[in-house]
């Protein structure tokens, strides 16, 4: 009789035990290793985080924006740990010294060659089912931004350079260049 081999379930302890400089995410107990970001990737992270932070400050907003590496424990459990490129969190009770416990309100991921299937499939499903309100996939190769506004079950695509409305804020749009 052939017994099914049981796959190991990893936890956040395994993430914290990684060697210095090695980064990984954990989704449903499975480890996904991460490559270092490109210069274009980092430029997009800086530009987007600046635009978001500026909007929050100008409108006396209560939300906070965090660029990666910033720990997000999506389901507030020990088998889901991600580091979104940008996390916007409006509930200050979710924020601790270790990161965010629970789903951020808005997540932005910037696609690289190695992260394409993670961003478009694995993380899309995980963010939607964990309570993220809005998810942006910024794709520098295709020069497109795909916006998922989960509360309204709405998906839109935008070209770089166009005004992209932010669903969790009224009267706020961003240009990705």
The share of the chain scoring above pLDDT 90, in percent, equals 90
- Phi and psi angles of residue 88, each rounded to the nearest 5 degrees, phi first: -115, 120
| Residue 150: predicted pLDDT | 96
Which residues in 70-106 are b (16+ Cβ under 10 Å) and which e?
Answer: bbbbbbeebbbbbbbbbbbbbeeebbeeebbbbbbbb
Q: What are the pLDDT digits (tens) for 81-126? A: 999 999 999 999 999 999 999 999 999 999 998 899 999 999 999 9
Confidence check: pLDDT of 76 > 80: no
Residue 15, CB half-sphere, CA atoms under 13 Å: how many? Answer: 26
Over range 155-162, report the average pLDDT: 97
Over range 137-164, report the average pLDDT: 96
| Interatomic CA distance for residues 114 and 98, integer angstroms | 26
| Residue 3: predicted pLDDT | 62
Over range 130-147, report the average pLDDT: 97
* Reduced 3-state DSSP string for 54-91: HHHHHCCCCCEEEECCCCEECCCCCCCEECCCEEEECC
| Residue 77: predicted pLDDT | 86
Q: What are the pLDDT digits (tens) for 23-56? A: 999 999 999 999 999 999 999 999 999 999 999 9
Residue with the larger pLDDT of the pair 85 and 75: 85
| Residue 1: predicted pLDDT | 53
Q: Is 94 left (phi over 0), alpha (psi -120 to 50) or beta?
A: alpha
Residue position matching structure tokens 């940008």? 86
| Residue 113: predicted pLDDT | 86
């Amino acid at each position: 009789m052939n017994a099914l081999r049981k796959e190991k379930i990893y936890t956040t302890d395994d993430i914290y035990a990684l060697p210095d400089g090695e980064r990984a995410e954990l989704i449903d107990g499975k480890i996904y290793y991460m490559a270092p970001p490109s210069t274009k990737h980092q430029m997009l992270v800086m530009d987007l985080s600046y635009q978001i932070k500026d909007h929050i400050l100008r409108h006396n907003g209560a939300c906070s924006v965090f660029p990666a590496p910033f720990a997000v424990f999506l389901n507030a459990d020990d088998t889901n740990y991600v580091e979104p490129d940008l996390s916007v969190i409006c509930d200050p009770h979710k924020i601790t010294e270790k990161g965010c416990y629970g789903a951020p309100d808005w997540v932005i991921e910037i696609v690289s060659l190695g992260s394409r299937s993670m961003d478009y499939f694995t993380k899309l499903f995980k963010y939607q089912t964990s309570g993220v309100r809005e998810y942006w996939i910024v794709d520098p190769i295709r020069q497109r931004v795909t916006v998922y506004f989960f509360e309204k079950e709405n998906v839109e695509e935008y070209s770089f350079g166009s005004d992209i409305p932010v669903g969790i804020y009224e009267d706020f749009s961003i240009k990705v260049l």
